[in-house]
Structure 1
């Protein structure tokens, strides 16, 4: 079988089904999106970026991350070139899934410095995960948060105060969350973005903010924001629950932004539904920077029809990338980065590139081809074919 052949309208490629049966599909040509000539106005949008390892290094499970810094920072400049900001050292960068504490600090420092040089906007995750002991008291959680907070501020990055596994383990009530966040926010030198990461992304965070009931937990979030007296600029909500996001969004103070982290429903949440809109802080946008930029440019022109025509076709791809188990979505982000020529090899720190099957990746290829997310379809077809050949699927 010939795996890839040029056609008059695109590139044909072999796909692999879950039953091992192959088929052929066509990858459409990349849309002719244009980079913005001025800053995006109608929405604030951050792409949560991944890290790119050295393909020859010992990036095996349990080993310290050995990162290709040139490629990693070049990817961030790719995002900036489309008018998007970068959210760094977040879960997309394999925080707590291969990115160790030393590599996290180096990533924040390098990314902040590069953003200054490139004129890009960068925020970075602040957590407690440099502490090895999984069970620490609340005062130690506060100290750990504050240590990372000061490091990130000193590096020059904006702060996203991430959900902490240590806090989830130590807290016994909503009041404990209010106490910890109150103390940490009081130590911030500038307003920060809160981060509510649901158990689909990290099962250790079930019941965060003191309750497994989203409505009850939302009340705790609102009390934290109210008590912060202007030190919270926004909240990223990653529960994959559009109704819960809208409900909390409607109750936020006017100066606090809702950043959708809903990679299943971002199209409807970013669009104004008459009651408001969400801004964006999405891992999906790392794989979709050109389309995300073009869609927001359409909103800047008040052209909601074009916004939907650009971004709606990407939603099915994102749902495949973030399919259960959702915390392995990073594999799809790195895979698309490789297909699009942003990294030398399909590899990840911690060996996490093995976390998705070939049929799962095949569906990503198909959907990316359908929605125009392949920036260089010919290269994508060539690389995908090489992976199939390596695994004995094609000759």
Structure 2
């Protein structure tokens, strides 16, 4: 059997689906050579009667089951991050409930979890004092839930700040009052255009100096930094300047294999949205690193970069649509619906290519089911069988 898949030029081409998935271990202990977080998506409730602008309706059973899937492979979960559609369908009330539920599940199952703390309860113009108070509210909730905080980049702070000193003041305050080490998150404007000029400058070199000054002021309160700039050269340069004991977590969904493998001067850990669909394969690759087999790690992970670059192609912030498509095709949820209706954010040719690349990698545990579901989606769009 073959599928007829539309390409970017509107032509139909044939694809012969795999019949067997890639052989992967179903589960395993925590990874040892790298700390690896998968930023996880949320599963929408497809039966909820919602409309544009309504609060997100989440299928909690399916959402938590997916986190157990990630933990079963030895990965940590990065919760309530941009992969979960923070600010793109999931509001603060929904994120707070997600943090509570996932943190409780982590405690019950022994999984590691870090949760995003931001300022998205602020929906309009806000003063710096309001931004700081919003951060404090979310930081407190994450810590009370027993999770490690990730201080996310703030749209409200980007609007309110007049220069680097405002970032130094706000982050310095948060680090002083945090109960334990946090992860700092530098999310580039390709992921969120509202974050242009973060750290008080449009010049990346100047912004980097401010970011490093924030860390240097309280390195004891910084477990690590997540760098999501899609610039491997800049990430390597920055990680070489981090204080001892502060980790670099790559958020580079384009160059993660080389950054995680590292060089003679060090390596990056990982906090990646692309590890949501790649979890079993990523875990197997890092286990090769655990034994010192860098070649085996690259052999497994390098072929996934073409899929990652496709999912995260501009406009990059809509990568979540491809991630949820692959979760549906892989059987982790029973529908292709997203909070905020974001399933419509990518074209059918884009989705078809995501399916094809994932199928070629053997990512689907049941290729026949994935083929049937893709055939249903194609038929919905009117593609002839």
Q: Alpha-carbon deviations, 1:265-302, whole Å to 9, x = none?
A: 11111012212110000000001001110000000011
The secondary structure found in structure 1 opposite 2:334 is coil
Q: Which residue of 2 aligns with 1:8?
A: none
Aligned to 2:23: 32
Residues 295 and 311 of structure 1 are in contact (CA less than 8 Å); yes or no, is this contact kept in structure 2? yes
Output the CA distance in 2 between the equivalents of 1:298 and 1:14: 37
The offset of 1:20, in angstroms, is: 2.8
Contact preservation (8 Å) 1:259, 1:279: yes
Segment of structure 1 superposing worse, 57-66 or 272-281: 57-66
Q: Which residue of 2 aligns with 1:9?
A: none
Write out per-residue CA displacement over residues 212-270 of structure 1, whole angstroms, 9 at most, x where no aligned residue: 11111111111111111410110000000101100100000121000000101111110
TM-score by length of 1: 0.95
Does the CA contact (< 8 Å) of 1:16 and 1:358 recur in 2?
yes
1:230 match: secondary structure: helix
How big is each residue's C-alpha offset from its partner over 1:28-84, in whole Å with a ceiling of 9 and x where there is no partner? 331111145432111000000000011111344311101000000000000001100
Whole-Å Cα distance in 2 between the matches of residues 364 and 37 of structure 1? 27
**Matching of residue 63 in structure 1 with residue 54 in structure 2:** yes
**Whole-Å Cα distance in 2 between the matches of residues 59 and 30 of structure 1?**
36
- Per the TM alignment, residue 136 of structure 1 is displaced from its structure 2 partner at its CA by 1.1
What pairs with 1:57-136 in structure 2 (closer than 5 Å)?
57-132=48-123, 134-136=124-126
Q: Could you tell me which residue of structure 1 aligns to residue 190 of structure 2? A: 200
CA 1:229–1:241: 2 relative to 1, 3 Å: closer
Query: 2:128 pairs with 116, 123, 138, which one?
Result: 138
Separation of aligned partners in 2, 1:37 and 1:338 = 23
Say if 2:28 and 2:72, in contact at 8 Å, map to a contact too: no
SS of corresponding position for 2:16? strand
Partner secondary structure for residue 116 of structure 2: strand
Q: Which runs of 5+ in 1 are unaligned?
A: 6-11
1:293 maps to: 283
Give the one of 312, 321, 329 matched to 1:339.
329
Query: What's the TM-score once normalised by structure 2's chain length?
Result: 0.98
- C-alpha contact 1:197 1:238 (8 A) present in aligned 2: yes
Distance 1:60 1:331, change over 3 A: farther
Classify the secondary structure of the residue corresponding to 1:125: strand
User: Aligned residue for 1:330?
Assistant: 320
Which residue of structure 2 lines up, in the alignment, with residue 184 of structure 1? 174
RMSD: 1.1
Q: Secondary structure at the match of 2:333?
A: coil
- Match in the other structure for 2:238: 248
Q: Is the 8 A contact 1:59 1:349 kept in 2?
A: no
**Alpha-carbon displacement from aligned partner over 1:106-144 (angstroms, at most 9, x marks no partner):** 000000000111111110000011123x22111111111
CA distance in 2, matches of 1:103, 1:56: 17
1:172 to 162, 165, 176: 162
* Matched residues, number: 384
Q: Helix, strand or coil: the match of 1:251? A: coil
